[in-house]
A and B are shown apart, each in its own frame.
Chain A
Amino acid sequence: MNPRASLSTLTRKPWLWSFLAALLIWLATIAFTGGAGAGSLLSGALSFSAFFVIVGIGQMFVITTGPGNIDLSIPANIALSGAIGMKLMNGDPGLIWLGVLGVFCSGLLVGCSNYALIRLLRIPPIIATLSASFLLQSMAIAYGRSVRVQPPEIFYQFCTGNLWGVPYLAISVVVLAVLMAVVLNRTLYGRWVIAIGQNPRAAELAGGRIGRVRFATYVLSALLASLCGLLLAGFSGGASLSMGDEYLLASIAVVVIGGTSVAGGFSNVPGIWGASLFLYLLVSMLNTFGTSAGVRMILTGLIIIAVITAVSGRRSARSA
């Protein structure tokens, strides 16, 4: 393959950039440490990125359905689901099924109420999910106030264990991502999601049931956020109220950095993995370099703005 052809493949597949950037950062970090801890860094990155990927996929489906669609209830949902899951399991391996079922039900309810607010009150999704998140946050505070319940041992093992250095969690989430890519690109539902994002009017005239597709999308996003909350609680040895806080920015950032169009209609599942690895590795690289928390945050913010600026520049160049 000549260099120009490979370059054009690169620009046609925006998600490659995020993997490339993640790889570069990983190399820079191990060059700095002299090769020490390269494997454990990668293993940690896979674990932490898995959580970003779970919520990122849900947010991606929501964002794909068109401008203005966004799910702001993710952090509150994560906090609530973690609390529900840990409380129902109560540290007993025999009750894991109950915890999973409870979290699944709460996710389902959150998704339904999010869409009900959007539909019944005819308000923009931002406001609907925002007001829902206020309620969820209060519920999480009131419900999760009691003592910290440890996850059952076997659940903890699943969330933190690994197979030849690859975390179980990462393997499961890769499977989930493949599944979601198939749903997005090969099923009727996924095609409608993309069609509605590109042109809702045309999709409606073509017979698309916009209401149902958007309903399913908000439920999917809420379910994935609940799943993330449950696994996160298992991973960190118990639920905490603030554990979802960073996931609002993260869920949007991985979608954008991963090459999904913020205007909707064009989405990208593999990019979410690349972007999640990139974000985690970036933070840990800055950690290794010994930068302070403040500098780390500033750089993260700058990179997000730089990426979104570069991405939009590329798109306008292509359309010109």
Chain B
Amino acid sequence: MRLLTREMACQELVELVTAYFDDSLSRSDRRRFRAHISGCDHCTAYVEQMRLVIEATGRLTEDDIDPHAREELLAAFRGWSEGRAEA
């Protein structure tokens, strides 16, 4: 079977993985991307690595807010809230 569009090389595919995941590739690029993956174990492994990177990154978490700053903000809130009640 002849493809009308140019085949995607592995080196091109690795630049498009995030766009593929975000579903922001053009239709023809998405088709080329999928066609390539279906016949390339190496790129399948690469895309799976990227998926694992995303999953693992999702397990990280942020620090909590600084308790001192938190207290200050809550005090500011009380001040704001009291001012409103009086107004």
Asked if chains A and B come from one complex, the reply is: no
Q: Chain B residues in contact with chain A, CB under 8 A? A: none
Q: Chain A residues in contact with chain B, CB under 8 A? A: none
